Every structure is written in structure tokens, then in C-alpha cells.
Amino acid sequence: MKKSTEEFRKMFGKGKEALGKMAEGYIYLRWINLYIYHLRNVVPDPEVTLRYPEEVATPEADELAKMAAEQTFPMLASAETSPYHSKVVKLDDAKSLVTVKQEISLTNLETIIPFKHARDIILKNPDHIAVIDCSCRATKENPCKPIDVCLAVGEPFASFALEHKVNNARKISQEEAVEIIKAEDDRGHIHTAWFKDAMGDRFYGLCNCCKCCCAAMRGFRWGVPIIAPSGYVSEIGEDCNGCGQCIDFCQFEALTLKDERAEVIYDKCMGCGVCETKCPIDAISLKRDPAKGNPLDIKALMKQA
């Protein structure tokens, strides 16, 4: 057994239920491309042509990943049952998640991670980070580039990806992680922190997502509540000139033009901040909105702890 697999096993304790959850997590981490491929196939998206990840497929791995994905999908319909979900984080908060300098354990985050399951942030060796190819892009024909934009953060997740050579995993520094996040932000993509019960009920990675490739964003578009808002909402300033650049970049289609000014469609806005960074005249800002939950501000949470 590889060292990272043993460390992963230790997160779950003993007993039949713990063993089953550990096995599910191993399948998900080890063959994540197959898992995402089969998850997307449960309810096919008519606008997306999928690519079967033959490079990682064996009949046994394919069957295991398919079973895990099909078992997960029915539970995604509600925040009460969802075992696999994410939280939108704005650019600065995404950077903070990959630059933590000390081990931390933050639990009882239900006001921040509004799901019943998997909402802890327990970072062991937070400077251990691996970048892997995005499974959503890797399982889609003609995906956005580059595809090496997903980050496994902390242990045992980073070492697992590296030791098992998951999706061309390679070790990177915290500074390199920030560069990847910033480059994706420049492309207009959003940042999401991911949680899963089969990952020890905790945060395990940070993805950089686009509405054309991301399975979660496309599922969210069709009503699957797999993504939680950041805790912010966009606000248009009086100096908006109606250029429409923010609308072109908005990943949630939450902006429109009205009377030659940009206008926020409140119910759609997830507070990702892409419009703020893309406005050429700095006429857009993010403001806190309690109705959108609390932000995943790791610096503030560490101070409180």
C-alpha cells in the first residue's frame, strides 16, 4: 500500500461504514476522470459532447467509478443530502486558501458551507499542493485550455495525486498555485473550494471553473444545488458606461444591460467577482450580502479560531 493511501485510510477510522466511505473516496481520487465522466452521463447535457477517458480506463476501474458516480448523483438534489459540493470564493480568498502557513482545523462551518455534510477545513501540510488536469475539461471534447488548473491542497490529497500519478499530477509551490489561480481569473474563470464526505468530510481542493466545461456549473445551471454562493453580490457603480464587457465574462449569466448600464440579476449572482476584475473602468464592486451566506475567508476564520 502506498504511503499516501495509508494516510488517506487513517482519516476514516474503523468499522464497515468507515471502510465503505474510504473505498468510495479512493475510487474518486484514483480515477476521478472516470468518476466525472460517468457522473455527467447520468443525465446527459445536450450542449456538451463528452470524451471517454480511455487513458485511465480498465474494465474494473470503469465499473467501480460508474457505481460510485451513480450512487452519488441522486443525493445531489438537496443541500441536506449532497455529499459532494463546492463554495464559490473570490480571487483574494482563493489565494488565501493556497497560502496558509500553518496546519489548521476548522469545524462547524455551516454558516459558510451551507450543506449538511462535508463542511470542515482541516489542513495538514497546507504548503503541499499538487496541480492536476481538470477532469471536467479532460472529459469534454474541445475543452478550454489549459487543462492543468485544479489544485489538490494539503495532505493526504496532494501526495495521493502525486504517488498515483492522477491526471498528470505535479508538485507545485504555494507561489505557483497563486499564479495558476490568477491566470485563470484573467481568463474570466471562477474559483471554487471543494468538499466531499468521502474526502473525510472536508475541503480537499480548489478548482478554477468555466461555464462551458465545468460539470458542476452546468449541473447548477439545470437546478442542481451543488455550488454555494461566495457571500458577496456584485454592485454596479454610477460611473458604469454600459460597455458590456462584464456581461461577456459573467460565468453565471447574472448581468444584463438596461438603459445603457449594466444591471445585476440578483438571484443568479454568485459573487465570484469576475465582473469586478474585468470592468475596464472599475465601476463594479463586491458587497457583502447576508442572504448569500458568509464568505470562506480563511484568514478571518483562523483569527476567530
The per-residue pLDDT for range 40-67, each reduced to its tens digit, is: 999 889 999 999 998 888 999 999 999 9
Do 47 and 188 reside in the same domain of the chain? Answer: yes
Q: What is the pLDDT of residue 305?
A: 82
Do 218 and 277 reside in the same domain of the chain? Answer: no
Do 104 and 240 reside in the same domain of the chain? Answer: no
Do 50 and 28 reside in the same domain of the chain? Answer: yes
Place of cell 471562477: 190
Count how many domains the chain has.
Answer: 2
Do 138 and 237 reside in the same domain of the chain? Answer: no
Do 24 and 49 reside in the same domain of the chain? Answer: yes
Do 239 and 130 reside in the same domain of the chain? Answer: no
Do 75 and 217 reside in the same domain of the chain? Answer: yes
Do 202 and 139 reside in the same domain of the chain? Answer: yes
Per residue in 184-224, pLDDT tens?
999 999 999 999 999 999 999 999 999 999 999 999 998 99
Do 88 and 191 reside in the same domain of the chain? Answer: yes
| pTM summary value | 0.96
Q: What is the pLDDT of residue 56?
A: 83
Q: Are 292 and 233 in contact (CB under 8 A)?
A: yes
Q: What CATH number does residue 284 fall under?
A: 3.30.70.20
Q: What is the pLDDT of residue 13?
A: 86
What domain range includes position 251?
A: 232-288
Q: What is the pLDDT of residue 137?
A: 98
Do 137 and 281 reside in the same domain of the chain? Answer: no
Do 8 and 68 reside in the same domain of the chain? Answer: yes
Q: Which residues of the chain are modeled with pLDDT < 50?
A: none
